[in-house]
Structure formats: structure tokens, C-alpha cells
């Protein structure tokens, strides 16, 4: 046995790992191939992304290789290598690559949904074990990825076994008297072996650093074009996952670093017309309307994954959301309306309490946080407050958060018949709305008005498509869209026959959007652009369409304006019927977006860069420098809002 076979063995394992990463990257590419539609020079972009990816893959493989390299090279140097050490190294490699393969393959599915790589915040879902497991295992689209993982681990194990036999084909007994490998290395000079070992250590260290440049490898190194998909294609998800852990430990995502706190509050106070008496770090402003209070009920329906583009979906020449589109023709409709974030918990908190989402941080957690918002203000005004969930109320800490913030009663899967539970997300939309309708009828018997919020879920994977909708669309995503629309139609038709209907404001909006087509910009706008419909028989001037930008954080003050009630607005929202925003801001994972009538600004925390697109042109070039005045206005507006919100959220949680 030759001493240098140790290096052949390690190099073979190292390259094999990189080879598997290469295959996974190609699978990620083809699973999201629609994101390349309309892009020129696809081959050149792909080759560059693959080259970038090779460096990220080598980074991960180098970290895995470094420990066996150090141990084996020293043992060979002192003639202490034995068979059990080789077996232990093989076991280490199997476990290490099992983990990184698992993260990579999980990321392929995750990326297809979010157009972003998996981060440490995704581990928060593990605390909701059965619900998260149900979401993963009940979706048959994940099964090919399960198979890919099992096949990859099995093949990698067989490859390691082959390398062990090829490079260490000797029979060593495990007794202390077993002959050492030095007997087979006598022909090799230490003058060659020692310098080569040091050189390989240096090469491995360089791989772990990832770059010969001044700074070590960063996520931003993968960004080489103005096409977000190709930029992200080069990043190994294990790398971005590790960096997200590092960022969390350093609290790099403390957004105060983006702008001084006093500057932020000064800009926010000016934008929201906060009176100086409210204090230097406050957004509180008292709203004292004139005229008679409207003592009406309020029903908010948050629609799972309902992007604005969903309302334009057609199948065989037939629109799949006829009810919602008909409702728009009789309602107030906000054409340029945006979700605060891209997760359901963001949508609930922003809609009900008027606070923006804060990047990849959950809006609801197990820390004390007390807001005002619609549930609190209306309960104090004598309303009965209800929240209707389809599933486990502990998921995303909803039960805790909602009870702490103004709701009298939360209905969940524990209130529904077991036979109505469709999957781990609970009941379907039709039963949720049917059950809620009965509870609202009961509430209407009281002399108190009610405030009710529904959170639908059928449009969340895994889709459970009822038999009667099997032919309603081209795929399950389209079929479930038709089902949700029909469920809303049945609910509103039933409600229209009740007396309380004529004295109720109904608000329909998405909790966040959904990506289904190629995204033109570095930030997936379809995930934030959602519909918002306000309908009521009380609206005598409907229909009206509002072209100015607005968002979920504006629902609280806008509804209070409809009710014409006095209140203290301590949110970041405005009354869209009486005030106008110059632009609207929102987040998606680690990106901050802001859009006005002409431009779309993006701040990417991954690479600390500013990008701005001409929103209504076909150009995809960054115009931040060319139109610096417009870009700085959008940047200061969005960043100031996020910095101020971050401070106030921490204050509400006692941090």
C-alpha cells in the first residue's frame, strides 16, 4: 500500500461530492426552467452560474474534507494508519454528505416555491412537528425528491465503499500488533510527502476560504448578472444556510444598521404626519373623524397564496375566479396592493395590526407582543371578535398571539368534526366558511356588532381537490383556485340572505401571493402583489378602482375610516380612502422592495446592494445610478419604515 493513496482516496471522495452537487444544481435548474423564459444567452448564463457554483460546492466539500485530511495525513506520517480509521472516515463522509445532500434536495423544492434558498428561519417550522410533516409528506410532488435523496445517499455510500477497497485493499487485523502501513511506504521519501501534505492543507484551507480575493467567499460572489435566477443558481444552499446561521448569531439582520434610528423616525413622522407631541420614537396619531359612527360588522377573509394574477387565470377560455371578478365590479378594488411579507404569519399581523414584516423574521413568536389594531380597537368599542382557522391553532404561535391581541374566540380544527379534516392543514375552505357563517348568524343575535377574520388554506400545498373540481383547471393549482372562488361565492350568497349582511363590510385579500411564472426582477413581485377587495351594501359609490399603491398595513386604518370611529393609529398604515402613499414597501426573505408609479427599488441584504428597475418598461437594467434621485427617495422611504418598525416591534416584545 502506498502512502500517497490516502490523498487519492480523499481527492476521489471530494470530487464525488462535488459531482453530486453539480447534478443537484442541474435538477434545480430544470425544475425552475420557466424562470428563464424570454432571457437571451441562456447557455452562457448557465455556464457562468455553474462555474460560480463549482466554487461554492468546493467550499462545502473542503469543510467536509478538512478533518479527514488532517487526521489521515498525520497518521500516515507517524505510521499509525489502520483499517478502523479508514472505516471511521467513510462513516464520517456518509453522515456529512447525508446532511448536505438532504439540505440541497430539500432546497430544490423550497426554491421552487419561494424562489429563494433555504435559511435558518425555516427550522422554526420544526417546532410544529405534525403540521410541518403533514405539509411535506402529504404533497406527492415531494416524493420524487425523497426518492432522489435515498438514491443519492445509497450511490454515495457504494462509491465510498469502492474507494475504500480500491485504495486500501489490504487485510489489517484490529489488534495492536497489526503491521503498520510503513512497511509498504518504504520507497517514498519524507522529503516529498511532507511538503505535499502541507501544500494540500493549504489548498484545503483555500477551498474553505473560497477565494483568493481580500474577502472570503460570500453569497454576493454568485451575483454576476441582472437575472436573479441565474445569480441564485450558483449558490450552494448549504452555504447560504450556514451563512444565515452565522448572520443570526451575529445579529447582522439588526436593520438599524441600514439607517440611524433618529433619522428613520424623522422620515417616518414626516411621511405619516405624526405630530411632534407623539414623541421622537413613535408613530402614534389620534384620528378624530367628524360625522356619525357607522356601527357595522366587519369580516376579513385572508386568502391563502392569492396573488393578483390569480384573478386573471383562465382555462379553456373560462376565467377560474368568476365570483371574485364579479365582486370587484361591485366593490372598492385596490389595483396596486401588496402583502407585507411572503408568509401567512406576516399577512395576519400586517393586515390586522398595521405592522410591516421584518425580512425573514416571523411576525408571531412565543415572545410577549401586544399590539392594538382592529381586534383590540373594535373589542374596546364593544365588538365581539372571532378568528376562524382551518387547522391547529398552535401553528405559527397563532393561538397565543391572537388571544393576546384582541380576539375573544379562536375557532380551529378542534372545533370541527373529525370527518371534515382533510389533511394536516385541517378543513377545506368551503367547510371553514360554512362553519363560520353559522357562528356569525349566532353572533348576529346579540346587540353587539362583530369583527371576524377567516384564514383560508385550501390553496396551500398539498392541494386537496374535491371530485367535482377535477376538470376545473389544467392542474391542481388551477383546480383549487376554482374551488376557493366557488367557496367564497357560496359563503356570500348564504350571507346575502341574512339581515346582518346589509350592515357588514367584507374585506377579501391575499395573505401573500404565489409564484407561477418567470419573475422579471431580482425580487419576485408576484409573491407580494395581491388583490384587495372591499365590498358592502353600505358602499353607495361602488364600484371604485384605486390605482395608488397600498398594502396590508393599510387595512387597519382604512377599515376604521369606513366605520368613521375615533382611534389612535399606532401603526404604519394609512387610510387609503382619505390619504395617499407616494410608494409602497414590502419584504421577501432578505430583500426589501419599494414601488411607486415609475420604479421598483430593491435592497438585497444578501449582497448589500441597491437595484432599481423602470417598472413599466421592458428594460431589466439597474437604473439606480442613472436615476439616483428617484432611487434615493424610494430607498429612504422603505428603509426608514423598516428601521422604525423593527425598533417598535422589539419594544412591544420587551427586548
Q: Which fold has domain 292-581?
A: Alkaline Phosphatase, subunit A (3.40.720)
pLDDT at 484: 98
Question: In the Cβ-directed half-sphere of 201, how many Cα atoms lie within 13 Å?
Answer: 12
Compute the CA torsion angle 286, 291, 294, 295 (nearest 10 deg). 80
Q: What is the pLDDT of residues 160-171, one digit of tens each?
A: 999 988 888 653
How much of the chain exceeds pLDDT 90, in percent? 64
Please report which helix (H) or strand (E) contains residue 334, including its range: strand 332-334
Average pLDDT score over the chain: 89
Q: Partners of 301 in the beta sheet?
A: 454, 508
Asked if pLDDT for residue 252 goes beyond 50, the answer is no
For 542-602, the DSSP string reads --EEE-S-EEGGGHHHHHHHHHT--EEE-SS---TTT---S-EEEEETTEEEEE-SSEEEE
* 344: preceding bond cis by omega (within 30 degrees): no
Helix segments in 211-256, DSSP class H = 228-233, 237-250
Q: What is the pLDDT of residues 4-58, one digit of tens each?
A: 788 889 999 999 999 999 999 999 999 999 888 888 889 999 999 999 999 999 9
Range in 270-279, 539-548, 630-639 with the lowest mean pLDDT? 270-279
Q: For residue 577, give the C-alpha cell.
A: 380612502
Contact 291, 573 (CB under 8 A): no
Q: What is the pLDDT of residues 259-296, one digit of tens each?
A: 999 999 999 999 999 997 666 789 999 999 999 999 99
Q: What is the pLDDT of residues 339-380, one digit of tens each?
A: 999 999 999 999 999 999 998 788 887 676 789 999 999 999
Considering only CA atoms, which of 404, 407, 408 is closest in space to residue 371? 404
Backbone angles phi, psi at 324, to 5 degrees: -60, -40
Asked if pLDDT for residue 333 goes beyond 90, the answer is yes
Question: Quick check: pTM over 0.75?
Answer: yes
Average confidence (pLDDT) over 239-246:
84
Average confidence (pLDDT) over 636-649:
95
Considering only CA atoms, which of 550, 600, 558 is closest in space to residue 580? 550
Compute the CA torsion angle 265, 252, 524, 646 (nearest 10 deg). -30
pLDDT at 461: 87
CA distance 499 to 449: 12
Confidence of residue 174 (pLDDT cuts 50, 70, 90): very low
pLDDT at 130: 64
How much of the chain exceeds pLDDT 70, in percent? 91
Average confidence (pLDDT) over 642-655:
82
Contact 243, 222 (CB under 8 A): no
pLDDT at 189: 55
pLDDT at 3: 66
Domain with CATH 3.40.720.10 in the chain: 292-581
Backbone angles phi, psi at 593, to 5 degrees: -115, 155
CA 472 to chain centroid, in Å, comes to 29
Q: Return the sign of the alpha-carbon dihedral for residues 518, 523, 524, 525.
A: negative
Asked if pLDDT for residue 186 goes beyond 50, the answer is no
Confidence of residue 131 (pLDDT cuts 50, 70, 90): low
Buried b / exposed e over 256-292, threshold 16 CB at 10 Å, is: eebbeeeebbebbbebbebeeebeeebbebeeebeee
Amino acid at each position: 500500500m502506498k502512502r500517497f493513496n490516502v490523498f487519492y482516496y480523499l481527492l476521489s471522495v471530494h470530487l464525488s461530492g462535488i459531482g453530486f452537487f453539480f447534478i443537484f444544481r442541474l435538477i434545480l435548474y430544470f425544475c425552475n426552467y420557466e424562470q428563464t423564459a424570454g432571457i437571451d444567452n441562456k447557455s452562457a448564463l448557465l455556464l457562468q452560474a455553474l462555474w460560480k457554483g463549482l466554487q461554492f460546492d468546493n467550499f462545502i466539500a473542503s469543510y467536509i474534507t478538512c478533518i479527514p485530511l488532517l487526521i489521515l495525513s498525520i497518521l500516515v506520517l507517524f505510521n499509525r494508519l489502520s483499517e478502523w480509521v479508514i472505516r471511521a472516515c467513510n462513516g464520517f463522509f456518509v453522515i456529512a454528505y447525508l446532511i448536505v445532500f438532504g439540505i440541497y434536495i430539500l432546497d430544490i423544492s423550497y426554491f421552487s416555491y419561494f424562489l429563494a434558498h433555504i435559511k435558518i428561519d425555516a427550522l422554526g417550522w420544526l417546532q410544529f412537528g405534525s403540521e410541518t410533516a403533514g405539509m411535506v409528506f402529504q404533497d406527492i410532488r415531494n416524493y420524487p425528491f425523497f426518492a432522489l435523496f435515498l438514491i443519492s445517499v445509497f450511490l454515495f455510500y457504494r462509491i465510498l465503499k469502492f474507494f475504500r477497497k480500491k485504495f486500501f485493499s489490504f487485510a489489517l487485523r484490529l489488534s495492536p500488533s497489526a503491521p503498520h502501513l510503513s512497511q509498504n511506504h518504504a520507497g517514498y521519501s519524507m522529503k516529498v510527502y511532507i511538503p505535499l501534505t502541507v501544500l494540500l492543507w493549504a489548498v484545503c484551507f483555500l477551498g474553505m476560504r473560497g477565494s483568493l480575493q481580500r474577502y472570503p467567499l460570500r453569497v454576493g460572489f454568485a451575483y454576476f448578472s441582472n437575472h436573479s435566477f441565474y445569480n441564485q443558481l450558483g449558490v450552494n444552499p448549504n452555504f447560504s444556510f450556514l451563512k444565515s446561521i452565522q448572520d443570526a448569531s451575529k445579529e447582522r439582520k439588526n436593520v438599524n444598521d441600514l439607517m440611524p434610528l433618529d433619522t428613520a423616525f424623522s422620515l417616518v413622522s414626516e411621511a405619516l404626519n405624526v405630530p411632534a407631541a407623539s414623541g421622537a420614537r413613535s408613530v402614534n396619531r389620534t384620528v378624530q373623524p367628524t360625522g356619525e359612527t357607522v356601527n357595522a360588522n366587519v369580516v376579513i377573509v385572508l386568502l391563502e397564496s392569492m396573488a393578483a394574477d390569480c384573478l386573471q387565470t383562465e382555462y379553456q377560455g373560462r376565467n377560474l375566479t368568476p365570483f371574485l371578478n364579479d365582486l370587484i365590479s361591485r366593490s372598492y378594488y385596490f389595483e396596486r396592493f401588496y402583502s407585507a411579507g411572503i408568509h401567512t404569519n406576516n399577512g395576519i399581523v400586517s393586515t390586522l395590526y398595521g405592522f410591516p414584516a421584518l425580512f425573514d423574521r416571523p411576525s408571531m413568536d412565543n415572545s410577549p407582543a401586544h399590539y392594538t389594531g382592529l381586534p383590540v380597537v373594535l373589542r374596546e368599542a364593544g365588538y365581539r371578535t372571532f378568528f376562524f382557522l382551518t387547522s391547529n391553532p398552535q401553528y405559527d404561535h397563532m393561538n397565543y398571539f391572537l388571544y393576546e391581541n384582541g380576539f375573544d374566540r379562536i375557532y380551529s380544527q378542534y372545533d370541527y368534526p373529525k370527518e371534515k379534516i382533510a389533511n394536516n392543514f385541517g378543513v377545506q375552505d368551503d367547510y371553514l366558511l360554512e362553519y363560520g357563517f353559522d357562528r356569525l348568524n349566532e353572533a348576529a343575535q346579540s346587540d353587539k356588532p362583530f369583527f371576524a377574520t377567516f384564514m383560508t388554506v385550501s390553496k396551500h400545498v398539498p392541494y386537496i381537490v374535491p371530485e367535482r373540481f377535477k376538470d376545473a383547471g389544467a392542474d391542481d393549482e388551477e383546480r383549487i383556485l376554482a374551488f376557493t372562488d366557488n367557496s367564497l361565492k357560496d359563503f356570500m350568497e348564504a350571507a346575502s340572505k341574512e339581515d346582518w349582511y346589509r350592515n357588514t363590510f367584507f374585506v377579501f385579500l391575499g395573505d401573500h401571493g404565489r409564484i407561477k411564472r418567470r419573475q422579471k426582477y431580482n425580487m419576485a413581485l408576484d409573491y407580494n402583489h395581491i388583490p384587495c377587495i372591499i365590498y358592502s351594501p353600505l358602499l353607495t359609490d361602488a364600484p371604485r378602482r384605486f390605482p395608488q399603491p397600498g398594502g396590508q398595513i393599510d387595512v387597519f386604518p382604512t377599515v376604521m375610516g369606513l366605520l368613521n370611529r375615533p382611534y389612535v393609529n399606532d401603526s404604519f398604515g394609512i387610510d387609503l380612502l382619505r390619504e395617499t402613499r407616494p410608494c409602497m414597501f414590502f419584504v421577501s426573505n432578505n430583500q426589501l422592495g419599494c414601488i411607486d408609479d415609475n420604479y421598483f427599488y430593491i435592497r438585497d441584504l444578501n449582497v448589500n446592494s441597491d437595484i432599481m428597475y423602470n417598472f413599466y418598461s421592458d428594460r431589466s437594467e439597474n437604473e439606480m445610478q442613472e436615476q439616483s434621485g428617484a432611487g434615493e427617495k424610494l430607498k429612504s422611504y422603505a428603509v426608514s419604515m423598516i428601521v422604525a418598525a423593527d425598533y417598535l416591534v422589539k419594544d412591544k416584545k420587551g427586548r
